[in-house]
Amino acid sequence: MMTYFRFLSALLISLSLQSNRSFAQVTEDTYRKAAYFLSGNMQQEVYHLEVIPNWLPDSTGFWHVTNTREGKRFFVTDISSRITEEAFDHVTLAATMQEKSTVAVDPEALPFSRIRIEKDGGITFSWNGRSWIFHPIQNSLESKESMVSSKDSERSTSPDGQWEAFRKGHNLHVRNLHTGQERQLSTNGRKGFEYANRYGWGDLMQGEGEERPSNFHVVWSPDSKKILTGIQDLRLAEKMYLLDYSKPERFRPELYGYYRGSPGDTTVVHEIPVIFDIETGTGILLNHLKTAHFMPKGLRWTADGKHLYGVYYPRGFKSLEVIEVDAATGETREIYQEESDTHIDYENFFRRVGKDKFLLASQQSGWRHLYLHDWASGKALGAVTKGEYPITDLVYVDEERELIYFMASGREAGRNVYYPHLYRVKWDGTGMALLTPEDAYHQISLSADKRYFVDNFSTVSQPTRSVLRSLEDGELLMNISEADDSNLKQRGYQAPRMFSATAKDGKTEIHGVYHLPTDFDPRKRYPVIDYTYTGPHTAVTPKTYKAALLGLQQPMAELGFLVVTVDGLGTSGRSKAFQDVSYRNLGDGTTDHVMAIRQLASRYGFIDLDRVGIFGHSAGGYDAARAMLLHPDFYKVGVSSAGNHDQRMEKAWWPEMYMGYPIGDFYEEQSNITHASKLKGKLLLAHGGMDENVNPSGTYKFIEALIAAGKDFDLFIWPSRNHSFGRTDGDYFTKRRWDYFIEHLMGEKPLLHYKLEK
């Protein structure tokens, strides 16, 4: 009898625990609740989400477009009167447009998103293949010239208007626009060794032997006497390939190729800078500056046209050189050089200032700071900024007053270390002033005359407030608008909650947020989904109201999950040492996520650690699969889309910077293919068949390894898609990803053949 009662008691406890778990029958309403929070809907449901100013040329004001209770509206702000009002009568304009075209025009969704405010008050916009001007006072609408641009992207006119540069065949030519006389500047151009035709990132070539897309590129000197261009050397470059099965009119796949070097490859497209003298027709090859086409190129002309200067990086980004090139001889002078054992931050904010100085951001102190240098010697004249915080942007340099305006995060004690603020400082590092005092994430836009700026500031829980400020001292001149999220609150929306945890090193504080469903009940236990992208070039945890609302997390949470996002060690936005944790170690990024989720669960009883899943896209797709292999007992379900599963097959510059160059055994150790046999849980792999960014071949190799190891997995291939699918606006794969977690993590049956309503 005692045994029976013990059994009954255990059964009741078990049933009680089950009842507290977050189970709910999946219906069409489940999907509708989640789809409501897709980004396209959110931009309609939240009014005045932000102000993106389009400054008037004279900086007397700006216009912006946003969503309001009355629909999409254009506003204009006059700075002198401190008034923001509608730029025109939208209902009247819509009716007038309808009269002109006999096509219905919705005044709440005018079919254009850009305007130009003319000096006489007219409103110019493009619509229906033409340019139009609306005069609000006269209520008149006139059609102007065709929208087709007369500018030829394959030709470039000199600053003085005398010469025109163009390509003929694979060589560079110029024509005197006054006499019509033509001159051929290069003579040895041929297919595979091409002048003035840069190789573009997405230049797909259909079939073998086809011509690649043209990307004509020249840079005229200010005095119109010289041209900087380059030779694209494709002779030894190897291609990657894609097969397009999606064309409805074809019954055989089409082959596409493109040049994309992988880490360590020497068979890549190279670019050789070349300077041409227009008067003599001679050219100077800068062979010593030859570099892979995917490396940064930043040469620019001096005002007198006698020199070129910029920052040069060798492959691997372990060093940088500030250089100056004599345009007449090609002789190159190294002004400054810096090295790193890991990588040099390419966001160096290099800027010539004054007649004989330059600014450069460096992480030599362990934090990204600004340093002033002498141009002649390269010698550092001093640190403009210093301290345990990073510079995030160089906004403006006032050379006349020797002032620098910059963004930095983590300087203000007691605030989120990722919140950037605008500061002003003198060239000698004195007079530091905070210009955006609110404890929030600030995003600014500067007026053309550098007297004003629009400041959008928010947190994940504080709706965006948009204000106009004076650049001189940050004085708040006027409130422009504040985001209205009343529609969301009526549906029970709770902003994501911020939290901190201790990283895997046992001492560093890391930060994250978690999203809750609108019907959240703290008495229940929720399965957890980790949204991952461990960088290392970015930090993806939302910091602003907009980012928290328009991401992938809230729709997923609405299905009945708690969705966590974490910025762990190895991501950007903090110290050099913080980011370098991921160097040669990209595969360990989710260990911090595991620790953060465990610490979060120790604080709150509504987190079910027996049901944890993970998903990510691109580098996040690598993370998600890697997490399933590295932490197979923690993550039970994973969805990995467009993943770069082996960095040896990835585009060269990214792994060479963050994994190391030249390549070594650590590439194989960090490969998901190497560890395929460790899979335990449910894994869905997804890829676009036409993904030229992360070629699907890495996913196919991973699949082969999983098959060889006898591992079960699921696969989704979208034949016609490139790298962009499963994004925040929702698509077919969005539901597939939702369904995978509903079925395998929540234990419910998803609806078949249901099409999302967006």
- Give 4-31 as a DSSP string: HHHHHHHHHHHHHHHHTB------HHHH
Query: What pLDDT, on a 0 to 100 scale, did the predictor assign at position 442?
Result: 98
Distance CA 447, CA 449 (A): 6
Give the per-residue pLDDT at 20. 58
Return d(Cα 378, Cα 346) in angstroms, integer. 19
pLDDT at residue 15 in the model: 44
Check whether the bond before 536 is cis (ω within 30° of 0): yes
Question: In whole numbers, what is the pLDDT of the chain averaged over residues?
Answer: 94
Please say if the pLDDT value at position 357 is more than 50: yes
Helices (H), 660-731: 665-669, 697-708
Give pLDDT tens digits for 250-281. 899 999 999 999 999 999 999 999 999 999 99
| pLDDT number for residue 757 | 81
Q: Which amino acid appears at position 299 of this protein?
A: L
Which helix or strand (DSSP H or E) is residue 556 part of? helix 553-558
Q: Which of 359, 431, 368, 406 is nearest to 573 (CA)?
A: 368
Number of helices and strands (H, E) in the chain?
A: 14, 45
Asked if 435 and 396 count as a contact pair (C-beta separation under 8 A), the reply is no
Higher pLDDT among residues 730 and 297, named by residue: 730
Under 8 Å between Cβ of 534 and 586: yes
21, two tokens: 């778990």
* Pairwise CA distance, residues 46 & 667, whole Å: 45
pLDDT at 16: 45
User: Does the N-terminal peptide bond of residue 719 adopt cis geometry, omega within 30 degrees of 0?
Assistant: no
- Closest by CA to 48, choosing from 484, 529, 626, is 484
> Residue 17: is its pLDDT beyond 50?
no
CA dist 718 and 720 (Å) reads 6
Give the span between the Cα atoms of 644 and 675, in whole angstroms: 14
pLDDT score for 345? 87
Residue 23 pLDDT: 54
Model pLDDT for residues 301-331, shown as the tens digit of each residue? 999 999 999 999 999 999 999 999 999 999 9
Place of tokens 């150790």: 669
Determine contact, residues 504/569, Cβ cutoff 8 Å: yes
Q: Which segments of 338-408 does DSSP mark as H helices, in order?
A: none
> What band does 615 get if pLDDT is binned at 50, 70 and 90?
very high
Report the pLDDT averaged over residues 60-77. Answer: 98
Kindly report whether the global pTM for this prediction surpasses the value 0.75.
yes
Q: How far apart are CA 37 and CA 563, in angstroms?
A: 14
Q: Which of 93-102, 364-373, 475-484, 568-577 has the lowest mean pLDDT?
A: 93-102
Name beta bridge partners: 55.
62
Burial group, residue 9, by CB count within 10 angstroms (0-12, 13-18, 19+)? exposed
pLDDT for 24 equals 61
Residue 210: pLDDT band with limits 50, 70, 90:
confident
Q: Tell me: the pLDDT tens digits for 81-102? A: 999 999 999 999 999 999 988 8
Handedness of CA 672, 676, 682, 685 (dihedral sign): positive
Predicted confidence (pLDDT) per residue in 652-676, tens digit: 999 999 999 999 999 999 999 999 9
Query: Quick one: which of 56, 93, 96 has its CA closest to 73?
Result: 93
Range 195-216 average pLDDT: 90
Nearest to 684 by CA among 735, 731, 633: 735
Rg for the chain, CA atoms, rounded: 29
**In the predicted structure, residue 398 carries a pLDDT above the cut 80:** yes
Tens-digit pLDDT profile for residues 127-157? 988 999 999 988 899 997 654 455 678 999 9
What are the structural domains, with CATH classification, of the chain? 15-44+488-746 (3.40.50.1820), 54-146 (no CATH)
With contact defined as beta carbons under 8 Å apart, do 730 and 756 qualify? yes
Of 378, 390, 372, which Cα lies nearest the Cα of 430? Answer: 372
In the chain, % of residues over pLDDT 90: 91
Report which of 439, 417, 438, 435 is spatially closest to residue 425, judged by C-alpha positions.
Answer: 435
